Structure 1
C-alpha cells in the first residue's frame, strides 16, 4: 500500500492556526512531542517558501514546543535563529521587537533566571502572566525525575509572580493546588483565602476550603488509634478542624443554595460519625455537646435538600 501523501499547504495551515491561537498550551505530552517533530520537519523542507510573517509564526511555535518538551538546546538554537532573522532591518524590527524580548524572557525563565526574565518584560502584567503560563506549564511535561525539586521550583515561580501581581486569582489557585499536592493544607487554604479577598462571594472557593479542611481532618484522624483520655485534647483539635470544614461548606451554600458539591461535602463529612467518637470522651463538655447538637440539625437539612435537589451520591 502506498504511503499517504499530505498536502504541505494543509500542514502549514494547521501549524499556523496552532501558533496564532496558542492551542499548544492545551496539548497532552504526546501531542507536544508529535507537533514539535512536525513543525521541525516542515521548516526543514519548506522554510524558503514562507513569507516573513509565516516564517516568524512557525519559528515561534517551534521555540515554544521545544521549551515545553524540555529540548532546551534546540529552543536556544531556534531563538537565536529568530533573533538573527528579525532583529535586523526596519519594518520587521519595529513589528517584532517586543515579541523578541518576550521570547527571551521565556528562555530565561525556563532556565530559572527570573531576574533577567523580568528585565525583559518590563513588568507588563499581560506578558508576565502569559510568560508564567508557558514556562510553568512545561513543568508537567519534563518527566518524573526529581518531582519534588520541580514542584519546589514551580512554587517559587508562582510566589515570585504573586509578589509582582498579587491580584492574579488564577495564580493563587495554582499555588493552592500545588501546596495541596504536597500535603501542606494550611498554606493551600491561605492561598484560597487570598482569592476570597478579591472575590468574597466565590462560593466554589468556600467549598474548596471546606474540602481541604476535610482532607486535613482525615489526615489527623487516621493517626488516632485508641480513643482514650490521652487523646481527648487531640479530639478537641479535630473538632475545630471538622467545624471549619463544615462551616465553609455552609457559607458556600448561603451564597448558592443549589451548589451540589457543598451538599455532598456536608453529607460526607457528617456521615463520618465523628460525633459517636466524641461522646466516649465528652463527659460534660459543653462545646462537644453543642457541636453534636448542631450536626444533628444539619444532617436533617442536608438529607432533605439532597432529596429535593435530586443529587446523586
Structure 2
C-alpha cells in the first residue's frame, strides 16, 4: 500500500523550490520528477491555493516544463499565467515585472533575443536567474547549434551586465571548446580587469595560449624548415609563459602554474629555433630566458 503524503507538505516543498530557484541546480532526473509532481499537484489542488501561491507554483511549472523541453506545455502555462494575473490582480509588481520576465524567458528559449530584450528589466537578481536558466538549458544538449545559441545568450547578458565575471568565464569556456582561442583569452582578460589579483585566471590565460600553441604545432608539417611558423609558435609560448609567471608572482605557491611552466619550457621549441638564432635577436633572447627559467622551474 503506497504512503499517502499530506498535500500541504508537497505545497511547502514546491513553494520553497520556487522561491529559492533551487530548480536551477537540479539534475535532469530531478527536473523530470518535479515536473511530473507539480503538474499532478496543481491538477488536484489548484482550487485550494491563494493567488500568490498559485502564481509561484505556475511559474515553477513553467520553468520545469521549459527545462525538460516541453515547450508546448510551457507556452500553455505561460498563457494561463498571463490570463489569470495580467489584469485586475492586486499584485502590481507581478504584472509589471515578473510577467515581463517570464515572457522574456519564453522568447529567449525560442532564440528570439530581440523580443527577450524588450521584455526583461535590469533587475540584477532576475538577470542572474535568467542567465542560470540559459546555462541549464545549454547543458542538456551538445549540438553546435545549441552552443552558438548559448554564446549569443551569454553575450546578450554581458551587454546588460558587463561586470558579471561568471558569465565572462562561461563564455571563455564555450569559445575554447570551439577552438576560438583569441576570443577565449579576451573573455578571461575581462575578468582580470575586475580582479587583477586573480592568479587562477592568469593561469587559465596561459593555458589557453598553450592550447593555441599545441593547435598550431599539430597542424604543421616539416616545422623545422618554417621560420615564420616557428616565430608564431614562439609568440604563443611567450604569452603563455608570461601569464604563468604573473600567476606565480601573485601566488608563488600555486602548483598548477609551476607545473604548466615546467611543461612549457620543455616543449622542445628551443631546439627547433636554435638554427635560426644566429641572426635573430628575439630568438636568442627567448632561448636565453628559457634556460634561466628552467633552473628555477625544476621540481
Aligned position for 2:235? 240
Q: Does 1:42 align with 2:38?
A: no
Q: Which residues of structure 1 form unaligned runs of 5+?
A: 305-313
TM-score (norm 1): 0.87
| CA-atom RMSD in angstroms | 2.2
Residues in 1 aligned to 2:87 and 2:27: alpha-carbon distance in whole angstroms: 36
Give the superposition deviation at 1:264. 2.0
Give the superposition deviation at 1:160. 2.5
1:1-313 mapped onto 2 (5 Å cutoff): 2-141=1-140, 143-144=141-142, 147-229=143-225, 231-304=226-299
Give the superposition deviation at 1:180. 0.6
Name the CA shift for 1:272/1:6 in 2 (closer, same or farther; >3 Å): farther
Give the superposition deviation at 1:149. 1.5
Residues in 2 aligned to 1:136 and 1:277: alpha-carbon distance in whole angstroms: 43
Give the superposition deviation at 1:242. 0.5
Per-residue CA deviations over 1:63-86 (Å, capped at 9, x if unaligned) read 111111221111111111222222
Name the CA shift for 1:238/1:38 in 2 (closer, same or farther; >3 Å): same
Residues in 1 aligned to 2:224 and 2:252: alpha-carbon distance in whole angstroms: 39
Give the superposition deviation at 1:12. 2.4
Question: Quick check: 1:68–1:135 contact (8 Å CA) kept in 2?
Answer: no
Question: What SS class does the counterpart of residue 20 from structure 1 fall into?
Answer: helix
Residues in 2 aligned to 1:193 and 1:50: alpha-carbon distance in whole angstroms: 50
Give the superposition deviation at 1:90. 4.3
TM-score (norm 2): 0.90
Give the superposition deviation at 1:29. 2.0
Identify the range of structure 1 (72-81 vs 290-299) with the bigger mean alpha-carbon deviation: 290-299
Give the superposition deviation at 1:280. 4.8
Residues in 1 aligned to 2:15 and 2:114: alpha-carbon distance in whole angstroms: 32
Residues in 2 aligned to 1:51 and 1:103: alpha-carbon distance in whole angstroms: 20
Residues in 2 aligned to 1:23 and 1:126: alpha-carbon distance in whole angstroms: 14
In the alignment of these two chains, the number of paired residues is 299
Aligned position for 1:310? none
Name the CA shift for 1:168/1:300 in 2 (closer, same or farther; >3 Å): same
Question: Quick check: 1:67–1:135 contact (8 Å CA) kept in 2?
Answer: no
